[in-house]
Structure 1
Amino acid sequence: MVDVAKVSLRNRFEELKVFQSIFGFLLSSKDLKSLNDVELRKCCAKFVEAFCRGDVELDELFLELRMLQMTLADSDVPLRAMEIFEYVRDIGCFPNILIAYRILFTVPVTVASAERSFSKLKLLKFFLRSTMSQERLNGLATLCIEKDKLDEINVDAIIDDFASRSVRRNIKIVSS
């Protein structure tokens, strides 16, 4: 049992090193601003090769990141990845950087540990015991795996919003 835990920890740290080597330059403004042109191009090439051959153009990503380096203000407290993403999204002129950050934020969700995913999947199948589409099963598995995030969502507000929109739609149909 101890050997399994030891191997699992070693594998997890190796995966995190790979993640850091691909995404490290996007994690903070300090990391991004510290790169010279040669290093930045290498980071962009590694990222594009790993994830987005058709989604992001290497030269465009490189040029956008160079402009972003000049745009980001120097401060004592570096911006984190989410803050950089929000800044870029608000500016609206760096589409390749937006795609890169979206990939950065979605990879951790899709790389959930196998043991945790399989145990949740087993529970789902036990409780539902019915045939369902693969899409629905994947959605339910994601909800179970990401239960902490799901608990933060205010379901009542969503239901109220949906109900009010349905009422408005019915009023428009009746009044026509």
Structure 2
Amino acid sequence: MAVSLLKERFELVENHSKSFKFLYDIENLQTGNRKELKDACTHLHSVLSYGEECDINGIALFGELQIFAPMLPSGSSPAKALSFLTKNGYMDTFSNIFVTLRILLTLPVSVTSGKRSFSKLKLIKIYFKINFVPRMYSLLAIMAIENDLLKEMDTDLILNEFAKMKARKICL
């Protein structure tokens, strides 16, 4: 299961990289091949579409990038480009670029949740140094990951209810 989850994560990162790769060198877009840029924008349009709904317009993104790229200071990364957009109030003018950069910069965060889960599971195994049933590791990992939620719960009440359900004595 762990191997299949890792393969899935790597495939997601690879697809992400293929779709957004052209934006990592955003300041040099005006010197590159226009046809490749247009193809990349239309591909990104299809990636960010679901049925009739779409987050960006690929053709409009292509046009916006041609105007926006020369405006950027040298050495601009996608994060700096987004900051430049917001500081200068260009969010509405370059709306497709604004949405695309926000998606680009927030997607990698979602990949870390799987890494965090594996890390927590490893810590649990090291802490207990015994072999649990795999289901027990899963439950302990969920409790460790959702630690904030667990702290808010009244565990004494839960333990008392559990004890009543499992009690073998007959109450008179």
TM exceeds 0.5? yes
SS in 1 for 2:11: helix
Once the two structures are aligned, what percentage of the paired residues are identical?
26
What amino acid does structure 2 have at the position aligned with 1:89? T
- TM-score using structure 1 length: 0.56
Unaligned residue ranges in structure 2 (runs of 5+): 118-140, 155-172
Distance in 2, matches of 1:19 and 1:84, equals 19
User: After the TM superposition, which parts of structure 1 deviate over 6 Å for at least 4 consecutive aligned residues?
Assistant: none
SS in 2 for 1:79: coil
Structure 2 counterpart of 1:122: 146
Pick one of 44, 47, 52 that aligns with 1:50. 47
Structure 2 counterpart of 1:90: 87
Structure 2 counterpart of 1:71: 71
What amino acid does structure 1 have at the position aligned with 2:55? D
Distance in 1, matches of 2:62 and 2:72, equals 15
Distance in 2, matches of 1:41 and 1:129, equals 53
Distance in 1, matches of 2:41 and 2:12, equals 19
Deviation at 1:31, TM superposition (A): 5.8
What amino acid does structure 2 have at the position aligned with 1:57? N
The structure-2 alpha-carbon separation of the partners of 1:129 and 1:34, relative to structure 1 and needing over 3 Å to count, comes to farther
- TM-score using structure 2 length: 0.57
> How many residue pairs were aligned?
124
